[in-house]
Chains A and B, each alone.
Chain A
């Protein structure tokens, strides 16, 4: 199946610094990638939809200047947490759309990365 990687798998940083998380589709091209945030024992919360070559679409309540998303190629999207603070500590997960064939029409199946645990001190 399609493989998505994330780097780093975990990161610890000081308050006020910026952290970049990479999401790569390893064996397929993805025009659309998604970024999620997950708190312990909770569901995935969609932060933004990343489209190759265009600006990301952010969900309501997500600060686009705080969470910068760049999708410069068909296999790489990056999430930069700017001026990180302890409340930004969380598990961040990306996914990439891969076209699959349904019985009637094709659809986009999301393949997920392994996640990145961010701890801001």
Chain B
């Protein structure tokens, strides 16, 4: 069975600084995708970034980037130049690719990030 682990329940960072959120996963699958989702106080789930497992290059989206270590099964999220609007719960998620489509998402327990002014 696939599992996703986020070992940091809560984190805090000063505005404009950089913070890294950790995520590890366990799977025997070879074709899969990894995601980071953000859930602000409004509770709307927002996709932050995704990584295709067969791509060695780390995904980046503006201030957000990942460090994907496939052998170590690690998928951390780095947020640069943190902004107050980044305050949210962040979920790491895994989905394996099978039969021409990705399957259901497996979520981690989440990391509550607070950006301090």
Contact = CB atoms under 8 A, between A and B. Distances in A.
Contacts of A115: 43-44
Contact of A41 (B33, B54, B95, B112): B112
Interface string B77-117: 00000000000010100010100111011011110100000
Given A109-B47, A114-B44, A44 B104 contact: no
B107 A104 contact: no
Contact of A112 (B33, B45, B50, B102): B45
B52 interface: yes
A106 B100 CA distance: 7
Contacts of A43: 91, 107-110
Nearest to B89: A41
Contacts of B33: 102, 107
B102 to A, nearest CB: 4
Contacts of A42: 109-110
Q: How large is the interface on A (under 10, 10 to 19, 20 to 34, 35 or more residues)?
A: 20 to 34
Contact of A110 (B42, B43, B54, B105): B105
A85 B105 CA distance: 28
Given A34-B104, A42-B109, A43-B91, A105 B97 contact: yes
Interface string B42-85: 11111100101011000000000000000000000000000000
A97 B102 CA distance: 9
A93 B89 CA distance: 15
A103 B45 contact: no
Nearest to A99: B101
Given A43-B109, A46-B104, A107-B33, 16 more contacts: A38-B43, A41-B110, A44-B45, A44-B107, A46-B105, A93-B45, A103-B55, A104-B54, A105-B97, A107-B52, A107-B95, A108-B101, A109-B50, A112-B45, A114-B43, A114-B44
Interface of A: 34, 38, 41-44, 46, 49, 91, 93, 95, 97, 102-110, 112, 114-115
